[in-house]
Structure formats: C-alpha cells, structure tokens
Structure 1
Amino acid sequence: MKKTLILFVLTFVLVSCNQSKDTEYVINGNAEGIENGIKVRLAQIDEKGKQVFRDSAVVMDGKFTIKGAVEEPSVYFLSADGTPGNMVFMLENSNIQIDFNTEIPMESKVTGSESNKSYEDFQNGMLKFREEGTAIMTRFKELGQDPAPETRDSIRKAMDDMRQRQLAYPLSFVQDHNDSYFSLNLIQLESSRPTFDIIKYKEIYESFPTHLKESKRGQLVKQKLDELYKAYEKTAHLEVGKIAPNFESQTPDGKTVSLNNLKGKATIIDFWAAWCGPCRRENPNVVNIYEQYHDKGLEIIGVSLDGAPNQKDPKKAWLDAIEKDGLKWNHVSSLKYFNDEVAQLYNIDRIPATYILDEEGKIVAKNLRGMALALKIKELLDTP
C-alpha cells in the first residue's frame, strides 16, 4: 500500500511538472547595467498592428522574472525603460533565459524557446544580406569619387541583385520552414507589404501541418490570405503581363472612343483630374515625354476623374486644365469622379495612376511617374 502511494505521488508530481511546463512561461532575465527599480516590459503586436503591453517586471540586482501563459508561440517584444529600442523573440510556454543587451537590445540572447530558433535562423539570414550590402558599399567608397562607368554599373547591378534576393528571402524561408510557428508570424508580417505574392504564400500555407493551420495564429493567417486572394481575383486581369482590358468612354466633344482604337506602339493610360494637385504637378513631365516620343509611336489616353462633389462645373474644370497644362493627347471622361466606369474597370482608388502598355496592349508597368515613367517609355520605343 505504501509503495502504491509513493508511486501515485511521484506520478502526480511528474504530471504537475509537465502541465506547468506546457501551460506557463517563465522568463528569467539578466539585465546587467540596468539600475534597480527600472521596469522591463513585455509587449505584443495586436491584430490591428498596434503594440500592446502584456506584462512587466522590476529589475533588481541586474535580474528580472516574468511569468505568464500564451495560447501558442508568438512574436513578442521586450524593452527596458530608458533603453533605446527593444528585442524581438518567440515566446512560448517554457523556461526561457534572456540575457538582455542594454546597448543593442536586438542582440540580446535567448535560450529555452524552441520556436525562437526559427526566428534566429531568419535573422541570421537577414544579417548576411546586410553584411553583403555593407561590403558592396565599402567597395564603392574605396573606388573614390569617380569610378569608371562600367565599374559603377557593376556595383549597382550587384546591389540590385542583393536587394532582389533579400526581398525574396522571406518567401523562401517560409517555404523551407513550413513547420514553424515563426513562419506563420512571418507570413502575417509580410502580408502588409505591397510586394506580397498572395498566390505563392497561399500555396505554401496549404503545405503547413494541420496543427499549425488550425492554431489561432494559423486561422488569422488564413483569414488574411483569403481576404488578399479575393482582392487579387478582382484585379488579376490588371497584373503586369496581362492584356489591358478594352474600354469605351466619351471625349470632351461627346464622341465615343475605345482603348483599342487609340493605343499606339506604347500607350500610357493616365488617370488624373483637374482637382488633383499631384496630377497637375506631374503633367509637365508627361508633356515632355509625349513631345519626345509621340512621333515614335507613343499615345496617351487621359482618363479624367472630374465630377467631384465640390466641383460646380466639372466639365469646364476638366477642359480648362487640359488647355492650361498643354495636354495635347486623347482625353475621355464620364465626369463621375471615382465612379467613372474606366476607373472602376482598372480598380483606381487614388490618383495619379498610370498603366503603361506595349504595342500588343500588354501591361508592362503601373503607376510610374517622373524619371521612372520616362525610362520605361524610352525602353519601349528606343530599343532597336
């Protein structure tokens, strides 16, 4: 009976210990150099993208302890009052040791969090890109003020290549670490970037194990991916490489014209309005491009979004702006503001906006302005 009781107690203790390890986290921190009484704060980014403080501890004798629980591993931030910046790590229910770097918090050391290893792997990969970029810039400076043009071009190409690989790195990392909670967090962070490739990330997400997809973070990521995919489907026909959808609209004298009848060897569809300050400031640049390349086959179709509620006579404002700015190309508008049918077809929610088409009517670029627009037209029409 006594042996049975001892076994029962030992079993209870072991189970209790395991439950504590699985359901709680204990952060033991070293914070040498931080005065007694200074607070260390634990924070997280909420679903709206705002940093929210979750807990804090007071430093005593260079040490602090924070205890709590999380539903699943997630990205957290740790900072100390009076210390610039914060450190980032993956917090999970386990015993975690943090050696807080007061000078460079991002270089703090974390042990005891399995999910944090993926985050560290990612950071090490990003560090290599930073080191590569620094090496390229150091080489450029060593060449002096006037390096040879071919050398300058070679260095610029090396830098551009490095930046492209850096932009592609998060996607390749998630693909190679599809069993990681950090990868879920990384997808969520990357989804706000304009370069986010919804098709590829959606495919990778489907390869994640079930327990990750069914986790709270996994469900949030799925919801975000589904939202972005729905938005993508609405504009898929407007992606670079697609044939620009044809449209019909009215000229200032009431005639109906179509894109297919007006496009040239290169075509700019320019969404603008008389009331749009940035559009009017860009117009001189567009005029210069038109004068330089119209004889080589450039056509421009100005789609006006005049008809704003505060315009007393939108048509007069439209025509006056055309004359004042010297816009000698084709113009169309329904004078319905952002409800213009062409604007809706091309998913225009702000102006200025441009679509650049090649001779076949294929979209080759979008929303270029200034020198970038001039260089693209030069590429299309000056290339033998």
Structure 2
Amino acid sequence: MKYLILFFFLTPVSTLCQTNQSAQIEDQLTISGEISNASTPPRYIYVIYADTEGGIDSSLVTNNKFRFSKKIATTTLLTLYAADPRDINNLREENMLTIETEPTHIKIHSGTSLSNSVIVGSKANEERKVIDELDRPFYQALSPLFKKKSRQEALKNADSAAFWKDEINKETYKLANFYYQYIISNPKSYLKLFLIADYLRTLPTNVKENDIDKIDTLFHLLSPSDKKSILGKKVERKIESLRFGVGSKAPNFTLNDVLGNAVSLKDLKQKYLLIDFWASWCGPCRRENKNLVEVYKKYKKKGFSIVSISLDEYSKKEDWMKAIKNDGLIWTQLSDLKGMESPVARLYKVAQLPQNFLVDANGIIIAKDLYTKDLEEFLGKK
C-alpha cells in the first residue's frame, strides 16, 4: 500500500520533466553568477564537471560576476568552488556548490557564501529538490538502524548485529524500489541516469532475478548521450557486475606476481579461495586489508586462502609494493598494472573497489562482495 500511495505522489512530478532531454535543440550549458554580501569576494570561481574526469575550469570574478560556458549532451553534475579545489586546505563546505543541470542557461545568486546560493533556470536542479523531499523518509528510517547495528558490533553481539543488518537491507531495498517507481513514473526525467545509479547503489548484493529485469527496463530508458557519458558507462559496468557472480564458474586468468612469475587461477586450489580486487589508492580496500590479514591467519589451516589482484597502474607500481608491505599481506599478490582497464577486471565485471568473489573447491563462485565480518561468519560455520 505504501508504494501505491507513493505512485500518486510521484505522478505530478512529471510536469517538471515534460521536455525529453534527448529532444532538446541546445547542447550548451551557460552559467551566469553574481556574488553579493560576501565580506571578501573571491578572485576566481572554479568549476569541475563530473563527466570530464576532474578537469578544472575557472572564471575571473569581475564586478562580483562570473560566467562559464560548456557544451554538454545531457544532464551533468558539476561543482563550483570559491577557492582553488586543488588546494585541499581551502576546501570548506561554504565554498562549494554542487548542481545537477541539463544543457540550459542557469543563473546563480550567491549570498554570504557560495553554498547558500539561489539557482534559477535548471529544471534538473528543481527536480532534485522534489526527489530530496520524497526520499528523505527512507534515509530518516535508515539512520537509527545503522546506529543500532554499530552499537551491537561494538558490544560484539554478533546475532543482534546481524538482525539489524537484515533490517537495514529491508529498508534499503524499499529505497531502491522508490527510485525504480520514480523513474518508471517519470521516464523523461532529467535525472534518470543519476537515479538509476542510485537504484543500483541501493540494491542488495544478492540481486534477485526480477531486479535484473527491472535494471534492463531502466537502462533502455536512457538516451544515447546518457549511455555514452562517463556515469552512463559506469552504470553499464555496474549492471554487468550485478549479472555476473554467484553460481557462475570463476573464469580462469593468468597474471604475474610481485616477482614476475606467472600465476593462474586454476593452480590455486583451495577449499575456499577469495579473489580480492583492490588498489593501493583505495582507502576502503586498505582498511579491509587489515581485517583480511586476521581472517587469513585464522582460517588458512582450514583450507581458506586469498589471491589479491591489484588494479593499480604501472606508474603506481611502487605504491602497490609499499601497500603490500605496510598492510602485511602474506598471500599471493597479482597485477598486470593496467588499472581498471585490466582484462581480468573486465573478465570479472569489476565495477568498484573493493570487490571480491569467494570460490569453492569446484571453481564455482558461491558469494561476492563480502565484508570481512561476513566472510568470517561464513567460514566459521564451515
């Protein structure tokens, strides 16, 4: 009944999305900004467009005004900065403004800080405000659940922590379904690519068959421009990752270890083998490494082992070596130093880091994307 009611709330939002972004004539984004009431106006305003992989543009502030212009084919995410974003010490929240916008002319009126600016002219930005109100109850419901789970973990109450984890998964799945219903109800949404990414992010790792069907339905709603964008390619890769996994035969591969010796998966026979994708620059990977060391030591004599595959690039080889030493990784370490473009990463449909696959003695993937707590719980029952 909750989603039936939600559907009627969603329907009027379509008035924000009546013009299909793929049918727009213009592909130009223009940003006109004015800074007022700032005690010390910045000399430059900087912008980073998410779909240009970190490229920085700047505009000289003249008479408290600034302007940017860029050709974009579809809705994009951008962040404006009142200080050089390369200077980490000056990156304060009040000096930043993140916007989702379609190709259009938007006006920004900044008050005492960039973060409290008024944005006029972007339908995508207006739509985001509506969505933020609609999904707020889901996040409010999740917040106390995470706190309860964390408390039980701190008290080492494994059963209670597992209970709250299940409750979190149930609530998160409701959020995923909210995004799905919104997109289906608003197929011309300016934000549908971003919302599909949100939908994929909130799905549980053990994706159900009907979820795969839903994913296909959503992906076919995307315009060619959406699919060609950096986020579109990431979404496609994530979909491939969700399709691949549990129940599949782990594809064989051959990579060099740290000494340059070729190692094949078929030679790593164990009762349980964790294939772990990581990189030296990946913070969550490094944190998980410390926990993996403890799990490895505890279960290695019971037929458990790990093979780690680094997705560092060749220029970061020394960083990879240092990370292995600093994290105390004492199992097989492999890499072709081709980063996320590694053929093995493609073979395993790796969409983010860390990512792992637990393989049994028959070479079948029996679990994926396990946190070390889940891995230890699984191994403890065997």
TM-score using structure 2 length: 0.50
Tell me the equivalent position of 1:228.
237
User: Residues of 1 paired with 2:306 and 2:149: CA distance?
Assistant: 43
Tell me the equivalent position of 2:380.
378
3-state SS of 1:181 partner: coil
| Coordinate RMSD, CA, aligned | 6.1
Report if aligned partners of 1:44, 1:77 keep a CA contact under 8 Å in 2.
Answer: yes
Give the direction of change, closer, same or farther, for the CA distance of 1:172–1:286 in structure 2 (3 Å limit).
Answer: farther
Give the direction of change, closer, same or farther, for the CA distance of 1:284–1:192 in structure 2 (3 Å limit).
Answer: closer
Tell me the equivalent position of 1:87.
98
Give the direction of change, closer, same or farther, for the CA distance of 1:364–1:168 in structure 2 (3 Å limit).
Answer: farther
Tell me the equivalent position of 2:67.
66
Report the CA distance between 1:142 and its aligned residue: 12
User: Residues of 2 paired with 1:140 and 1:222: CA distance?
Assistant: 32
3-state SS of 1:77 partner: strand
3-state SS of 1:377 partner: helix
Report whether the alignment pairs 1:110 with 2:119.
yes
Gaps of 5+ in 2: 1-25, 84-89, 254-264, 278-285, 310-328, 337-342
Please, which moves more after superposition, 49-58 or 354-363? 354-363
User: Residues of 1 paired with 2:250 and 2:44: CA distance?
Assistant: 55
Report if aligned partners of 2:108, 2:118 keep a CA contact under 8 Å in 1.
Answer: yes
The 5-angstrom pairing of residues 1-384 of structure 1 reads 25=30, 27=32, 29=34, 31-35=35-39, 37-39=41-43, 41=45, 43-45=47-49, 47-53=51-57, 55-58=59-62, 60=64, 64=65, 66=67, 68=69, 70-72=71-73, 73-81=75-83, 83-90=94-101, 92-94=103-105, 96-100=106-110, 102=112, 105=115, 108-125=117-134, 127-136=136-145, 155-163=164-172, 165=174, 173-184=182-193, 201=215, 203-208=217-222, 213-214=223-224, 216-220=225-229, 224=233, 228=237, 232=240, 239-244=245-250, 267-268=272-273, 285-289=295-299, 291=301, 294=302, 299-300=303-304, 347=347, 355-357=357-359, 362-366=364-368, 368=370, 370-379=372-381, 381=382
Give the direction of change, closer, same or farther, for the CA distance of 1:101–1:373 in structure 2 (3 Å limit).
Answer: farther
Report if aligned partners of 1:77, 1:87 keep a CA contact under 8 Å in 2.
Answer: yes
Residues 308-335 of structure 1: CA deviation (Å, up to 9, x unaligned)? xxxxxxxxxxxxxxxxx999xxxxx9x9
Give the direction of change, closer, same or farther, for the CA distance of 1:218–1:84 in structure 2 (3 Å limit).
Answer: same
Gaps of 5+ in 1: 1-20, 248-257, 306-324, 328-332
Give the direction of change, closer, same or farther, for the CA distance of 1:104–1:56 in structure 2 (3 Å limit).
Answer: closer
3-state SS of 1:241 partner: coil
Report the CA distance between 1:123 and its aligned residue: 3.5
Tell me the equivalent position of 1:7.
none
3-state SS of 1:179 partner: coil
Larger radius of gyration: 1
User: Residues of 2 paired with 1:376 and 1:152: CA distance?
Assistant: 15
Aligned residues: 294
User: Residues of 1 paired with 2:249 and 2:215: CA distance?
Assistant: 25
Report the CA distance between 1:239 and its aligned residue: 0.8
User: Residues of 1 paired with 2:36 and 2:161: CA distance?
Assistant: 46
Report if aligned partners of 2:109, 2:118 keep a CA contact under 8 Å in 1.
Answer: yes
Report the CA distance between 1:374 and its aligned residue: 1.8
User: Residues of 2 paired with 1:55 and 1:326: CA distance?
Assistant: 50
Residue 224 of structure 1 aligns to which amino acid in structure 2? K
Residues 183-203 of structure 1: CA deviation (Å, up to 9, x unaligned)? 235668999999999966554
Report the CA distance between 1:205 and its aligned residue: 3.0
Give the direction of change, closer, same or farther, for the CA distance of 1:363–1:39 in structure 2 (3 Å limit).
Answer: same
Report if aligned partners of 1:34, 1:59 keep a CA contact under 8 Å in 2.
Answer: no
User: Residues of 1 paired with 2:149 and 2:335: CA distance?
Assistant: 49
Q: Answer 1 or 2: higher relative contact order, Cα 8 Å, separation at least 6.
A: 2
TM-score using structure 1 length: 0.50
User: Residues of 1 paired with 2:82 and 2:246: CA distance?
Assistant: 47
Give the % identical residues: 12
Report if aligned partners of 1:75, 1:89 keep a CA contact under 8 Å in 2.
Answer: yes
Report the CA distance between 1:50 and its aligned residue: 0.1
User: Residues of 2 paired with 1:344 and 1:142: CA distance?
Assistant: 39
User: Residues of 2 paired with 1:44 and 1:192: CA distance?
Assistant: 23
Report the CA distance between 1:180 and its aligned residue: 2.8
Residue 53 of structure 1 aligns to which amino acid in structure 2? D
Give the direction of change, closer, same or farther, for the CA distance of 1:125–1:138 in structure 2 (3 Å limit).
Answer: same
3-state SS of 1:364 partner: strand
User: Residues of 2 paired with 1:270 and 1:22: CA distance?
Assistant: 44
